[in-house]
Chains A and B, each alone.
Chain A
Amino acid sequence: MTEHKHEPISYRTLILTWLALGILTGVTIAVSRIQLGALNVWMALLIASTKSTLVLFIFMHLKEEARLFKVGILILLVILSIFIGLTFTDVLYR
């Protein structure tokens, strides 16, 4: 049986992704300098998640991987959410 091989991702796509990541870094810094109260943290997390999605799907080839890899990430995120959620149900109601 031959191994399934990915097509190489073009330099162009990789460089464009990198530029997008650079721009998003600028956006994070710019937004963080505006006083938004608690919203600042949520904006930072939102932009960081967008950047992570780009890195995961393009740099880390998640787009080309089998469904198993994507389901794995989803399960990880659910576990992490439970972890965070349960911690805060404790911390916030002491």
Chain B
Amino acid sequence: MSIEHRDDTGARFGMWIFLYTEVILFGGLFILYAVALAKFPQQFAEASHKLNIYFGAANTLVLLASSLTIAMAITAVQRNKPKQAMVLCISTIVLAIIFLINKYFEWSAEIGHGIYPGSEHLAEMGPGITAFFNLYYFTAGLHGLHILIGGTLIGVVTVFIAKGKVNSERYTLLENSALYWHLVDLVWVFLFPLYYLIL
């Protein structure tokens, strides 16, 4: 008989420490945003009006719903309902894909209007608007990358639930993936009003 060594609380705290570094990463970008906003308030408002508020709002609701489904998946696993948990995990992945499809259409429209980092059209609009869009593409792009990673991670967890490796006795992997997913949601909670909703 082998003795199993595990420390679920420690594993979760490790994930939290990683999330702190993620907050510092995105925090740096938001500080850049704040400095540029203080320097170019009018241009930032003007640039913000070029973003599509409907895409932004729709994606906010999609991410909030996905946060709900992944949080419910933990409850389902704890209650020993793996089928329910898998449906909830897959719903989260589907919502992540919807988010990225929205993003694809949104960015296609913007790039179609000649608004992308390094474009001549953007350079003509001056440094304030250029700063806004460069930060917007970088922050939203990095966020999109996190969606991709988080979605993949949840996909792996879904397979593990199917195989019974993640179960009501042992589900730290699901908890940690869910923590990551919630962080992605938290970043968007700040990104959406700051980029899409400036008057």
Q: Do A and B bind each other?
A: yes
Interface residues of A (CB under 8 A from B): 3-6, 8-11, 14-15, 17-18, 21-22, 25, 28-29, 32-33, 35-36, 40-41, 44-45, 47-48, 51-52, 55-56, 58-61, 65-66, 68-69, 72, 76, 79-80, 83-84, 87-88, 91-92
Instruction: List residues of chain B with CB within 8 A of the CB of A21.
Output: 64, 67
- Are A22 and B9 CB-contacts (below 8 A) given A28-B193, A28-B197, A72-B17? no
Instruction: List residues of chain B with CB within 8 A of the CB of A4.
Output: 9
The number of chain B residues with a CB under 8 A from chain A is: 46
Main secondary structure, interface of B, reads: helix
Instruction: List residues of chain A with CB within 8 A of the CB of B78.
Output: 5-6, 8
Least Cβ–Cβ distance between A40 and chain B, in angstroms? 6
Interface residues of B (CB under 8 A from A): 6-9, 12-13, 16-17, 20, 23-24, 27-28, 31, 34-35, 37-38, 53, 57, 60-61, 64-65, 67-68, 71-72, 74-75, 78-79, 175, 178-179, 182, 185-186, 189-190, 192-194, 197-199
Instruction: List residues of chain B with CB within 8 A of the CB of A84.
Output: 27, 31, 34
Main secondary structure, interface of A, reads: helix
Instruction: List residues of chain B with CB within 8 A of the CB of A8.
Output: 74-75, 78-79
Instruction: List residues of chain B with CB within 8 A of the CB of A29.
Output: 53, 57, 197
Instruction: List residues of chain A with CB within 8 A of the CB of B175.
Output: 61
A-B contact count (CB 8 A): 121
Closest to A9 in B: B75
Cβ B13 vs Cβ A68 within 8 A: yes
From B9, B178, B179, B199, A32 is in contact (CB under 8 Å) with B199
Least Cβ–Cβ distance between A9 and chain B, in angstroms? 6
- Are A18 and B64 CB-contacts (below 8 A) given A69-B13, A83-B31? yes
